[in-house]
Amino acid sequence: MIDTSYSTFFSSVSITSTAADASANVIYTVPANYDSEVDFLICTNGSSTNNISIQIYHADGTSYHHLLRNHSVGGNDSYKILESDRIYLHEGDKVLAYKGSGTFDVSVSGRQFYNPMRSI
């Protein structure tokens, strides 16, 4: 039997921002009335060695938190941010990224669970 209690999501963004918080590039936003489980988060560097930062925006507290801060990624290499870990987010939370310089893409994937209780 197929479990239909969730849907999957994938998003990939080329990073242009070099500033944190509200100025960072949004990679993924949890939709209204959903909770999300992020189980894949990777950054790829298409140029020489540069730094990347990954943040989570927590909507309830309107606050930004770093998962990765100024991490050096080798030229033409990638860095997997989550190994066997998971990140659980809820409505309005965001995954964001910014870079030092260079050419970075950040990709995220996971599951979205409908939560009608979020709207009550």
Give this prediction's pTM. Answer: 0.92
The mean of the pLDDT values for the chain is: 94
Q: What are the chain's domains?
A: 6-115 (2.60.120.1330)
**116: which DSSP letter?**
G
Q: How many Å apart are CA 74 and CA 42, to the nearest integer?
A: 14
Instruction: Check the CA dihedral 110-114-119-120 and report its sign.
Output: negative
- With b for 16 or more beta-carbon neighbours within 10 A and e for fewer, the 94-104 pattern comes to bbbbbbeebbb
Q: In the numeric block, which tokens belong to residue 63?
A: 């606050």
60-116: pLDDT as tens digits: 999 999 999 999 999 999 999 998 899 999 999 999 999 999 999 999 999 999 988
pLDDT at 46 over 80: yes
Q: Which amino acid is at 80?
A: K
